[in-house]
Chain A
Amino acid sequence: MSNPLLAFWFRLFGRDDDHRLSPGLRRRIPVASASQASATIFLILRRMRAPLIVLITIFAISVLGLTLVPGRTEDGQLWRMSIFDAFYFMSYTASTIGFGELPQTFSDAQRLWVTVSIYLTVIGWAYAIGSLLALVQDRAFRQALALQHFMRMVARLREPFFLIAGYGRTGELLGEAFDALGKRFVVLDDDEDRIEALELAAYHADVPGLVADARDPGHLGVAGLANPHCEAVLALTDDDEVNLAVAMAAALLRPDLPVIARTMSPAIGERMAAFGTPTVVNPFDRFGDHLRIALRAPASYQLITWMESGPGTELPARGSPPERGRWVVCGYGRLGRELIPDLRAEGIDVTVVDPVADTAAHEGGIVRGHGYEPAVLQQANVAGAVGFVAGTDNDTTNLSLVTAARRVNPGLFVAARQNSPSSAPLFAAMNVDSLLVPTEVLAHEVFTQLSTPLLWRFLQEVPARGDRWAARLVDCITQRCGRRLDALWKVRLSRADAPALIPWIDTGEARLGVLLRDPDDRDVQLPVVVLMVMRDGECVLTPDDDFVLAPDDELLLCGRLAARRAVDTTMVVKAAREYVVSGRHVPVSWIWRRFSGVA
């Protein structure tokens, strides 16, 4: 088999004159050629060569012999079988069907020959079928078959899709969310069990999945990196090196694609950022930011979690952050290193409890030992602390830490880290104040960015606006639309999406409040809130009713589903827009418009 990757590297580096990044590079994304896809058929042919030749030879000899051996008819005439009769007889004999002696009874000489050929043909068939079964069991063959199937599926994708490298817990959550949106995606994972889980998952669409190392650009190419329908690359494996390799390959081969990469270490994150402009998501870093917001601005935190948790969720309870005081953080691993500077930045005193923490790396209070031991808790003075973080990478340890700390100080604000999805019910029963599930943090972040980029932009702006603003916005949304988030959607006031609004917007008198009236009764305000208006990359948060709209504005709205339909009506139907703006009922149909002279 020729290796398309070798050819690729040769073509990439074989000529000295083209080391620059160029659009032409995209054509050289290593996608196995069509000949590779036909590898399976060639493999079958090559393996079946010997058995087939054996079978043909045995048949030829048996048939030939049968036409030469003399027989007798019933009236004693000499009789020889014709080639056709012999071939017919051998066909049903060799395949063990057996119709008896046709076209007439055989002589003993013929029977002798048939006996020999029966043994010969049985051996031949057994050999051929055995070879075929061995081939089907063959691992290389099955891999070739899976690759071919995968390539066909990817090539047949005629709609935008995401390329996901790594189908762990985050991949699963994202897959479910994307599938619910009707979004296609392609999965690469080096673990066979994960791909099998993918095939068993109940998705609406077929999801192509391949067991392959995502570090190999050839595999990325096969998974559709070169496909024009590919919309984004998501590197979500649990290995930072692999994620870095995927982000690099995507940035070099398809600089136009957005890349989202997961990492657990700031150093790798910086190396990723050196290639193009990937979005690097570090769940521990995000958790630290979230915790800071939760401590400083409970209403902002409430708003962010509500908007991030997707349509159909109830308004989460507003947390009551602890008063100022000292925090105890158990576990100085990846989470601790991200979290402690965040807490320090808030001006909070931190005591670290860790069995092997490096004192040099951390100035301030370090207590060596396991946090669930009473002596250590006493030493860390948990009784005098206000906040407690159970942040080790072991769920059992974290649960016992929370229990031990609460026994000493029941009023603690407790944040805990959940590592495995199977521990979820235990942590839920613990009822901690703030729970970090790294995979879910990741999934929420990535999903928000890819599904509604406008919402993501909105959430970036929220913390800067302060807590009172957020509290007012939450009140406004609950008053107008209730405590359930029905829908969050984006409208674009373009000629294509809002044909009825354009003439009105062009007058320069189009005010936002008018658009939000009910097209059935214009005195009624629709249950909808405009969260943000985006114009030429600039965004205006929570514009008031007097905001003047301009063409091609993008609006982010949240509200009831009925309100969504009503706004769509106003955007598309001229008569509805006319009624909402001026209160006049104008005819809708062409004939009535002619009669009434509205035109």
Chain B
Amino acid sequence: MNLEKVVFGFFVLLAATLNFGFFIGDIADPALHNVYELFAAVVVSLIATVLKFGDRTQIGAVHLATSLVADLQLIAATIVWTYAAHISTDGLTAAAMASVVSLSGGALFANVVSVVLLVIETVSFHRR
């Protein structure tokens, strides 16, 4: 068993699952989306990105790219959330929550691609 691969797979999958957990539910209802889950998703996603650093294979490069996309989407979501909750006078409106959740939905898509890549890598590993 390769511990590095286990850790790597764990974080990639955890990033996707946390992301999914935040995303699921009525898009405009702040009660259905826990901001701590978004926070966890950002942290795990960043860790997953750093874990992909330095891998010079083709698939590693694609991995890094999708991971960076997910980071970008999630960070954008947190910035929108911060703006709505702290800066704007209206507070966390339905419209603001909808854009936060839709941004995290984009990140979810990138994370799904990451998981697919992980599966491909695992399947093709024995035939390399």
Question: What is the interface of chain A, defined by CB distance below 8 A to chain B?
Answer: 1-2, 35, 42-43, 45-49, 52-53, 56-57, 59-60, 63-64, 67, 82-85
CA of A43 to CA of B86 in the docked complex: distance in angstroms? Answer: 40
B27 within 8 A of A: no
User: Is the CB–CB distance between B86 and A49 below 8 Å?
Assistant: no
Given contacts A42-B56, A84-B85, contact A53 B39 (CB under 8 A): no
CA of A49 to CA of B53 in the docked complex: distance in angstroms? Answer: 6
Given contacts A45-B53, A53-B50, contact A83 B86 (CB under 8 A): no
Q: Which 8 A-B pairs have the closest CB atoms?
A: A46-B54, A45-B53, A60-B43, A84-B82, A45-B54, A52-B50, A49-B53, A56-B46
Question: What is the interface of chain B, defined by CB distance below 8 A to chain A?
Answer: 35-36, 39-40, 43, 46-47, 50-51, 53-54, 56, 82, 85-86
CA of A59 to CA of B42 in the docked complex: distance in angstroms? Answer: 12
Which residues of chain B come closer than 8 Å to A63, judged between CB atoms? 39
CA of A18 to CA of B53 in the docked complex: distance in angstroms? Answer: 40
Residue of B nearest to A43 (CB): B54
CA of A82 to CA of B82 in the docked complex: distance in angstroms? Answer: 9
Given contacts A46-B54, A82-B85, 9 further A-B contacts (CB under 8 A): A2-B56, A42-B54, A48-B50, A49-B51, A52-B50, A57-B43, A59-B43, A60-B39, A83-B36
A553, chain B: closest CB distance, angstroms: 58
Residue of A nearest to B56 (CB): A42
CA of A49 to CA of B54 in the docked complex: distance in angstroms? Answer: 8
Which of B43, B46, B53 has the most A CB atoms < 10 Å from its CB?
Answer: B53
Which residues of chain A come closer than 8 Å to B47, judged between CB atoms? 53, 56-57
- A-side binding surface: helix, strand, loop or mixed? helix
Which residues of chain B come closer than 8 Å to A85, judged between CB atoms? 86
CB<8 Å pairs between A and B, sample of 10: A35-B56, A49-B53, A49-B54, A53-B47, A56-B43, A60-B39, A67-B36, A82-B85, A84-B82, A84-B86
Which residues of chain A come closer than 8 Å to B39, judged between CB atoms? 60, 63-64, 83
CA of A1 to CA of B85 in the docked complex: distance in angstroms? Answer: 48
Which of A35, A49, A53 has the most B CB atoms < 10 Å from its CB?
Answer: A53
- B-side binding surface: helix, strand, loop or mixed? helix
Which residues of chain A come closer than 8 Å to B56, judged between CB atoms? 1-2, 35, 42
B46, chain A: closest CB distance, angstroms: 5
Which of A52, A64, A82, A84 has the most B CB atoms < 10 Å from its CB?
Answer: A84
CA of A275 to CA of B56 in the docked complex: distance in angstroms? Answer: 39
CA of A83 to CA of B46 in the docked complex: distance in angstroms? Answer: 17
Given contacts A42-B56, A56-B43, A63-B39, contact A82 B86 (CB under 8 A): yes
CA of A82 to CA of B36 in the docked complex: distance in angstroms? Answer: 10
CA of A60 to CA of B40 in the docked complex: distance in angstroms? Answer: 8
B58, chain A: closest CB distance, angstroms: 10
CA of A64 to CA of B54 in the docked complex: distance in angstroms? Answer: 29
CA of A48 to CA of B50 in the docked complex: distance in angstroms? Answer: 8
Which residues of chain A come closer than 8 Å to B35, judged between CB atoms? 83
Which residues of chain B come closer than 8 Å to A42, judged between CB atoms? 54, 56
CA of A82 to CA of B84 in the docked complex: distance in angstroms? Answer: 13
CA of A419 to CA of B56 in the docked complex: distance in angstroms? Answer: 50
Residue of A nearest to B60 (CB): A42
Residue of A nearest to B46 (CB): A56
User: Is the CB–CB distance between B51 and A53 below 8 Å?
Assistant: yes
Which residues of chain B come closer than 8 Å to A52, judged between CB atoms? 50, 53
A419, chain B: closest CB distance, angstroms: 49
CA of A35 to CA of B56 in the docked complex: distance in angstroms? Answer: 9
Which residues of chain B come closer than 8 Å to A82, judged between CB atoms? 85-86
Given contacts A35-B56, A82-B85, A84-B86, contact A56 B36 (CB under 8 A): no
CA of A36 to CA of B31 in the docked complex: distance in angstroms? Answer: 51
B68, chain A: closest CB distance, angstroms: 12
A49, chain B: closest CB distance, angstroms: 5
Which residues of chain B come closer than 8 Å to A47, judged between CB atoms? 54
Which residues of chain B come closer than 8 Å to A2, judged between CB atoms? 56
CA of A59 to CA of B43 in the docked complex: distance in angstroms? Answer: 9
B28, chain A: closest CB distance, angstroms: 21
CA of A1 to CA of B50 in the docked complex: distance in angstroms? Answer: 19
A38, chain B: closest CB distance, angstroms: 9
B121, chain A: closest CB distance, angstroms: 18
Which residues of chain B come closer than 8 Å to A67, judged between CB atoms? 36
Which residues of chain A come closer than 8 Å to B36, judged between CB atoms? 64, 67, 83
Which residues of chain A come closer than 8 Å to B40, judged between CB atoms? 60
Which residues of chain B come closer than 8 Å to A49, judged between CB atoms? 50-51, 53-54
User: Is the CB–CB distance between B53 and A46 below 8 Å?
Assistant: yes
B6, chain A: closest CB distance, angstroms: 15
User: Is the CB–CB distance between A48 and B53 below 8 Å?
Assistant: yes
